[in-house]
Chain A
């Protein structure tokens, strides 16, 4: 077990944060597992990028964020959107292309968004959302709202230009934004180390922008929650941006099309032994949390996932009338008179 974050050492056993973290982990795990099962049943068209194995990053940050802090994430965004409180039925229905989808079927798996929960979008072009997250932080800074923008992206993103433009702007304008590099060791199908000039794709770049080099065990939700709390607070207090690299691992492939056969079996085995849910569950049991308490959380989540699945499946397909809706703010798509 890694060194456990200070918050976890000092927290009381009955601190509700512990069980809330567990609940978030369980929610992401079971939602993503169900999404995968629905793929196998051919109920989901298009592509999908799951966060199985990477749950602790989304859970730890969401737990640390203020309700009105902004989340910006990538096409691997089911977890980040769900964990901010977006409707599970809405998310599941979006994957299934149903009329009750959170985007009414117009966005799909790679664009999940729930503005009412401050989940400001899943961006499917690598790197694009870093400057956008900086822009939201800029607005928060100017409006004095105290909001922090949190921007999640993969290791592969650190090699695209927008990453560097956003980091530099955030640093020179001292913006309240926390950049979170989810380093799962592979940029899509290619080992990140084989295409990157430095060992730690996020942390080693931080110095170039005058930022601390920060690495966290992304499979340990206590560690993630601890570092998230620290740097969110710092950004909120005017301390400027941070770049945190969370080391983690996908349980499966890059997307549904990828069986991930390029990963050495030993590597897979050692990471799966550090599965974030198994890790946290055993820690809580060691601390004396009753097994039944955790089982009850799991079964409550399962009930919610079942209900979301049924409500999504029962809904009609996405409404064709919406094809012409909402290109413009007036609700329509007219480009001429």
Chain B
């Protein structure tokens, strides 16, 4: 085991797969010589050379289009969209072309590609560089959506995403980039569509994703220690595919469900979770499903405002205590 930061795990995952498979290429804005604006891809240019690690112009449609065209003709490319907010400038390629072409061509086209992006708030960048857009991608049939919560998963899930034969939107939580964690030595590949449960409390389950996972874990510890409420946290890890069976097991074990979502309220992924739980496990519930989300506002920039907007461990604790 080595301790890596979340940002170092990105380069580690890419390097592992580029080493293994010559058809893996990586392109994006400022990714090669500068090593990424979040310093996630440093060292790759030196290791794999300027053809396989390549800077692009500020052209998100060209990046998304190039990885699509290359994926359908023999490469296994990874593209970076610097901030996930910028998906809005290439959403045609992502949602209309990448997501639908296999289906529309009756399976003639296969698109083994990954588009990575820094997602979510925490850096006081304001409403156009801090959004959590996982629910945009989740709403489009044909896209897999992966969002890791720790360095080991960054490496393992990125590797799995690159090896997957379908298009994957890989969302890195930018507030987690400096966080550290143990990453297994040697080849590390996780499985898409398998959630992980932290803890075994029997009172409530907190269902979380990406940057909300460490906050939910912290809240769970405080709920146990300060309020005697036993929590378990389900880290979904991917929204598509969605590990419903692990989710429902935890629902049955606890009887109370709280979702913890960074995305704004309407149509956040937690709404789908709530719907599934209501349809399939209603009689296992001891009380209403509660969603803890960012309110339905564009994310404000100032520290005090951003902190008050995105769910915090304290807000999770307060909500659970009040509702329990």
* Chain A residues with a Cβ under 8 A of chain B: 70, 72, 102-104, 106-107, 111, 113-116, 120-121, 123, 125, 127-140, 142-143, 145, 147, 149, 161-162, 165-166, 168-169, 172, 322, 325-331, 333-337
Contacts and interface: CB of A to CB of B under 8 A. Distances in A.
A125 B92 contact: yes
Contacts of A102: 106
B62 A166 contact: yes
Interface in B32-62: 51, 56-57, 59-62
Given A139-B70, A333-B141, A327 B51 contact: no
A121 B105 contact: yes
B64 interface: yes
B65 A106 contact: no
A328 to B, nearest CB: 5
Given A168-B59, A337-B243, A107 B141 contact: no
A131 B108 contact: no
Nearest to A322: B106
17 contacts: A111-B104, A114-B108, A115-B105, A121-B109, A127-B92, A128-B61, A128-B92, A132-B66, A161-B61, A162-B92, A168-B57, A169-B59, A329-B102, A329-B164, A335-B141, A337-B193, A337-B244
Given A133-B69, A165-B62, A172-B57, A328 B166 contact: yes
B75 A139 contact: yes
A125 B164 CA distance: 27
A131 B74 contact: no
Contacts of A335: 141, 240-242
Given A131-B66, A162-B93, 5 more contacts: A128-B65, A128-B96, A162-B65, A169-B62, A328-B142
Nearest to B246: A337
Given A106-B106, A165-B57, A172-B57, A130 B241 contact: no
Contacts of B59: 131, 165, 168-169
B106 A103 contact: yes
For chain B, the bracket of interface size reads: 35 or more
Nearest to B239: A335
A132 B108 contact: no
B104 A107 contact: yes
A120 B108 CA distance: 9
B186 interface: no
A117 to B, nearest CB: 10
Contacts of B102: 326-329
A172 B66 CA distance: 13
B96 A134 contact: no
Nearest to A136: B69
Interface in B175-229: 193
A70 B108 CA distance: 14
A169 B57 contact: yes
A215 to B, nearest CB: 25
Given A107-B105, A337-B244, A329 B69 contact: no
Contacts of B75: 138-139, 142-143
Contacts of A140: 73
Contact of B241 (A132, A147, A336): A336
Most buried by A among B59, B105, B242, B245: B105
Interface of B: 25, 51, 56-57, 59-62, 64-75, 77, 92-93, 96-97, 101-110, 112, 141-142, 164-166, 193, 240-245, 276
A162 B69 contact: no
Contacts of A114: 108
A142 B70 CA distance: 10
Contact of B65 (A113, A134, A334): A134
Nearest to B89: A161
Contacts of A72: 69
A129 to B, nearest CB: 8
B104 A166 contact: no
A165 B92 CA distance: 14
B73 A329 contact: no
A106 B104 CA distance: 5
B105 A113 contact: yes
A132 B103 contact: no
Given A121-B101, A125-B97, A104 B65 contact: no
Most buried by B among A72, A116, A325, A337: A337
Nearest to A172: B57
A169 B56 contact: yes
B50 to A, nearest CB: 11
A232 B112 CA distance: 28
Given A140-B73, A165-B57, A335-B240, A134 B105 contact: no
Contacts of B276: 336
Contacts of B142: 327-328
Most buried by B among A70, A131, A161, A326: A131
Most buried by B among A72, A125, A330: A125
B241 A131 contact: no
A135 B66 contact: yes
Nearest to A335: B240
A135 B68 contact: yes
A110 to B, nearest CB: 9
Contacts of B240: 335
